[in-house]
Amino acid sequence: EDQVTQSPEALRLQEGESSSLNCSYTVSGLRGLFWYRQDPGKGPEFLFTLYSAGEEKEKERLKATLTKKESFLHITAPKPEDSATYLCAVQANSSASKIIFGSGTRLSIRP
Amino acid sequence: SAVISQKPSRDICQRGTSLTIQCQVDSQVTMMFWYRQQPGQSLTLIATANQGSEATYESGFVIDKFPISRPNLTFSTLTVSNMSPEDSSIYLCSVGRGHEQYFGPGTRLTVT
């Protein structure tokens, strides 16, 4: 069964303190792995798609990386406005369009 | 990407009633999806709605409870029928662009 596990559930950092969020996945042939940001009371905002092991994508203070079993979302020198829930999701080759989401990591950045 | 709007943004409903949620997209899309996000939880796919065909429901979701319409390539509705407090949740529509999905702002439903 396709599965996505994110850790930690919650992470509190000081402004400027870099860290990484983990997404472990089990899927029968990966079509794509996605990262989303979700602010309270809003829909998820698309950040990145990764397709193959070794691929990296960057956007401002965020960098996503992918291996055959997991993905990391690295956040460098975070600011309070980076506080949000970060969701990881995968799409299998066999699933047509279905995306399976992890439970998310709630990130809080203290000024 | 896509600009997606949902109506209503939130509602409080009585047990046993039904609510229809509307989803409008700013451009034509083939695939639209409806998700549920229960408090503190991640997203669960309810169904996939392609224009011109019946919606495809995920395990645990049935058409009688969550009927979906997809009359054209920019619009869809999800009805939550015969509501109970367990239906209190955020309902989100999304659209597919290539392999990616983009989400609307959600409808926060509270059933009393």
The 3-state secondary structure of A71-89 reads EEEEECCCCHHHCEEEEEE
Average pLDDT over residues B50-56: 86
| Distances B79 to A77, B29, B69 between C-alpha atoms, Å | 44, 20, 9
Listed residue (B83, B61, B67) closest to B12, CA to CA: B83
Q: What is the CATH number of the domain that holds A11?
A: 2.60.40.10
Q: How many domains does chain A have?
A: 1
What fold, for B4-111?
Immunoglobulin-like (2.60.40)
Average pLDDT over residues A52-62: 96
CB A82 within 8 A of CB A59: no
Residue with tokens 């960098």: A63
Distance from CA of A19 to the nearest CA of B (A): 22
Using 50, 70 and 90 to split pLDDT, how confident is the model at A96? Answer: low
CB–CB contact A49 B100 (8 Å): yes
Considering just the CA atoms, what is the radius of gyration of chain A in Å? 13
Is pLDDT larger for residue B68 or for residue B51? B68
**Range(s) of the domain holding residue A70:** 3-110
Instruction: Please give the mean pLDDT across all residues of chain A.
Output: 95
**How many residues in chain A?**
111
The residues with which A91 forms a beta bridge, in sequence order, are A32
Average pLDDT over residues A23-39: 94
pLDDT at B97: 85
Domain positions in chain B: 4-111
**What SS3 state is found at B19?**
strand
DSSP for A23-75, please give it.
EEEE-SSEEEEEEEEE-TTS--EEEEEE-STT-EEEETTEEEEE-SSEEEEEE
Residue numbers in B near A46 (CB within 8 A): 1, 100-103
Using 50, 70 and 90 to split pLDDT, how confident is the model at B100? Answer: confident
Using 50, 70 and 90 to split pLDDT, how confident is the model at B57? Answer: very high
A79 backbone dihedrals φ, ψ, rounded to 5°: -115, 160
Chain B residue whose CA is closest to A6:
B42
Residue B52 above 90 pLDDT? no
Residue numbers in B near A48 (CB within 8 A): none
Distance from CA of A95 to the nearest CA of B (A): 11
Of B1, B42, B105, the CB nearest to A43: B105
CB–CB contact B31 A97 (8 Å): yes
CA–CA separation, B78 and B58 (whole Å): 14
Distance from CA of B42 to the nearest CA of A (A): 5
